[in-house]
A and B are shown apart, each in its own frame.
Chain A
């Protein structure tokens, strides 16, 4: 069974700290991996998409890495801010066709003042 796991389920850090969120997947034959942000009661906002041939992607203070051989992806957030507080979800595309995604359960991040 193809599963996606995110640990920890919740994380609290002080403002300004650099942090890493983890995503593990059981099958290394992936097409891509996508990181999303979800604010309470809202939809998902796409942050970064990493293709299977790539090792990392960067957008502003965010950097996502992909290691297919170990079944892991990390989302690095630099200089965290209270506005970064949200739930972060990773999703894996195993099919490569219409991008049917398998989601992790997310990490709820709180950045405190």
Chain B
């Protein structure tokens, strides 16, 4: 079945540690996105990539980094510079171009311990 796979489902980070969240899609979509979800707030865009080897900052990129070396993969690293990383992280993808449907993974819940 085509879809988006995020791993791990749960992740715990110690203070000062970098962690990487995985996102893989087999939908052959060109564009991929990372959103952060906090209670009582709408999803906020962290980074997005429209094509391999290119990505742009979203609304809340500080303390995060990404790479897009393969079309199907868009990993997100939460660095120690992110002061409040505890949240639910969602990866999404769309076909290139406007008017296309967005598909989401099942999310990764990151907790600072």
Interface residues of A (CB under 8 A from B): 4, 31-32, 34, 36, 41-46, 49, 51-52, 89, 91, 93, 95-106
B residues 82-101 in Cβ contact with A at 8 Å? 88, 90, 92, 94, 96-101
Interface residues of B (CB under 8 A from A): 4, 6, 30-31, 33, 35, 40-43, 45, 48, 50, 58, 88, 90, 92, 94, 96-107, 109
Chain A residues with CB below 8 A from B97, complex form: 97-98
Residue pairs across A and B with Cβ atoms less than 8 A apart, 12 shown, are A4-B42, A41-B107, A43-B106, A46-B102, A51-B99, A95-B98, A97-B98, A98-B48, A98-B96, A98-B97, A99-B99, A101-B43
Chain B residues with CB below 8 A from A44, complex form: 90, 92, 104
CB distance from A14 to the nearest CB of B (A): 26
Q: In the complex, A6 Cα to B43 Cα: how many Å?
A: 13
Q: Are A34 and B102 in contact (CB under 8 A)?
A: yes
B6, B40, B98: the one contacting A31 at CB < 8 Å is B98
Q: Are A106 and B58 in contact (CB under 8 A)?
A: no
Q: In the complex, A76 Cα to B102 Cα: how many Å?
A: 21
The residue of chain A having its C-beta at the shortest distance from the C-beta of B33 within the complex is A100
Q: Are A105 and B33 in contact (CB under 8 A)?
A: no
Task: Contacts A42-B107, A44-B104 given; indicate if A99 touches B94 (C-beta within 8 A).
Answer: yes
Q: Are A32 and B41 in contact (CB under 8 A)?
A: no
